[in-house]
Amino acid sequence: MIVRLALRSLTTRPLRTAVLAAGFGFGIAIMVELLGVGEVILEQAHAPALAGGGDVMISGAAGPVDDARFVLASVLKAADLRSRVAAASPSRRATLYLITPELALPVTVRGGVPGLLRAVGEPEVARVPSWTDEAADREWSNPPEGDILRAMDRFHTIPDSEFADSWAEWLYFNGRSADGRVRFYLTFITGPRADGGHRSAAVRLQLDRDGRPSSYTTVATIDERTLLDRAPDLDVGANHVRLAGSQYRITLAVQGVRGEMTLDASLARAVPPATIRGAHGWLSGYVVPVLSGELHGALRVDGQTISVDGARGYHDHNWGFWEGVTWQWGQVAHDDLSFVYGRVFPPASVADSSRVPGFLGVLGPDGPIGFSTDVVISEDDRGGVPKTMTVRASGARLDLRLELAVEESERTRMGMTRTSSGPAMTFLQLGGNYHVTGRAAGRDVSFTAGGSAEPFRRIP
C-alpha cells in the first residue's frame, strides 16, 4: 500500500516528490556526519596528547593550586598516575590591557613553557619554531628538589588589611623518639611589623622527657627584607634554620638548651600550599614541606644530652591573620604512610566557619594516594582537655577513622587570637597514640602509632 501511494504521488506531482525525497536524504546525511564528528571530538577530548585534553585534572580544595612545579615533580609522578601521564604542561591565563589615548582594550593572554606546551601538542607553539625554552624555562621545568621546597616554604609580605596587627607566620617542627620517651615541639615565629622595617620574632622549644614537660623561649627582632629574601633560612638571635638541598638544619641556643638537628625532606611526603580567603582581605595559609622525615642530632639540656637520631620528624609552615581564629589539626605516620588532617575556624566577620571544610590527606612512598574534605573531627573532653580526638573521613579513594588517645598536653595562651570582645584562646599541643583503621586507595589500613594534634580551649 505504501509503495503504491508513493508511485501515485510521483506520477501526479513529480517535482514536489523529488524535492521531499532530496530533503529527507540531505537531512539523514547531515545527521550521519554530525554523529561522526561528535565521535571524533569525544575521542580527542580524552587524548592526553592534545592541549586541553587529557584525563587528569589537578585542583585544590581551598582554591587554585599555585605551585605547578610541585605538581609536576610530585603529584604527577605518584605511582597510580605516572604511567598514565604522557605529557604535562602547566599554563596560566590572565587579562592584560592595551591602553591608548582613546580606549582600554582587554586582551586575554596565556603563559607557559614552550617545550612543555609543544610536548602536549599545543598548535600555536607548534607553528612557531622560534619559540624555544630559554635557560630559565629549563631550570623551572627541571628544578632540584630543594628549589621546590624553598619556594613552598617562603615567607609572605603582610597584606594591607584591618587585621594586620594580628599577622603571624611561623616554621613549626615536631619530633618523637622511636620509644616515645622524648617529644619536642619547636616554633620559629615572626609577628607583625615592628619599627624600622623589622618584624618581631621568637623561638619556642617545648620538650617532654618521660612525661616531664619543659619550655624554653627567646625573643628578637629581624629585618623584614632579609626574612622575605632568604626564607626558609632564618636567624632569630643565635637560633638558625637552614635548608640545604632537601635537608633542614636547625641550630638551637635558647636559655639552657644547645644543640643541632637535621630533618630529611622528600617531595613524596609534602603537601603543597593552600590559602583560605575571607571578607575584608582576611586569609590563612598552610603548607607541609615534611609530613614525615628522619631526624638526626642531639640537644644538650640542663647538662643532659638528648639524642634524636632515628626519630621521626614533621615540619609545616603557617601564615595569615589570627585574630579570632582557632583550628583543629593533627598528623601521624606509620611505615610508608603519612596522614595529616585539619580544619580552620575563621572569625564570623570574614566567613561562615560552618562552610569551611576540614581535610584529610594520605601520602604513600611515591606521593599522594588519597584526599578528602568530607571530614568530621570530634573531641572528648575531661577537665577542659581532650582525652581522645576522633577523625572520620570518607571519599572516593578512602574511608578512614583515626582516634588519638591523648597522653600529654602543653598549654599556651595564644595572644594573637585575642579579639576586641573576648580574651585570647588557650592553644593545646597534644601527643599520644593514634589507632588508625579503614581503607585508602584500595589498601587496608590498621595500625597504632605516635602522633600529634592541636585544638583550642577557652580556659581562664
Measured in whole angstroms, how far is the alpha carbon of residue 219 from the centre of its chain? 29
pLDDT attached to residue 50? 45
Residue 350, H or E segment: none
pLDDT attached to residue 330? 94
Is the link from the previous residue into 460 a cis peptide, with omega within 30 of 0? no
The partner residues of 248 in beta bridges, in order of sequence, read: 243, 263
Which CA distances in Å does 14 have to 1, 21, 396?
Answer: 19, 11, 64
| Residue 423 CB neighbours (<10 A) | 13
| Residue 394 CB neighbours (<10 A) | 16
pLDDT attached to residue 221? 93
Enter the C-alpha cell of residue 147: 628549589
Give the global pTM: 0.77
DSSP state of 50: S
Query: Domains of the chain, with CATH numbers?
Result: 62-85+95-109+144-321 (2.40.370.10), 323-460 (2.40.370.10)
pLDDT attached to residue 356? 87
Enter the C-alpha cell of residue 348: 564570623
**Distance separating alpha carbons of residues 410 and 431, to the nearest angstrom:** 9
Enter the C-alpha cell of residue 81: 598516575
pLDDT tens for the chain, 460 residues: list them.
Answer: 555 655 555 566 665 555 555 555 555 555 555 555 555 545 544 444 444 445 566 666 555 666 777 777 777 766 667 777 777 888 788 898 988 888 888 988 888 888 888 888 888 888 888 888 888 888 888 888 889 999 999 999 999 888 989 999 999 999 988 787 888 999 999 999 888 889 999 999 998 888 788 889 999 999 999 999 999 999 999 999 999 999 999 999 998 899 999 999 998 888 888 888 999 999 999 999 999 999 999 999 988 899 999 999 999 999 999 998 999 999 999 888 999 999 999 998 999 888 888 999 998 887 778 889 999 999 998 777 899 999 999 988 899 999 999 988 888 877 777 776 677 788 888 999 999 999 998 889 999 999 999 998 876 6
Reported residue count of the chain is 460
The Cβ-side half-sphere exposure at 294, using a 13 Å CA radius, reads 5
| Residue 118 CB neighbours (<10 A) | 22
Q: What is the four-CA torsion angle of 83, 84, 87, 92, rounded to 10 degrees?
A: -130
CB distance 121 to 239 below 8 Å: no
The partner residues of 35 in beta bridges, in order of sequence, read: none
pLDDT attached to residue 20? 58
Q: Which of 252, 270, 253 is nearest to 262 (CA)?
A: 252
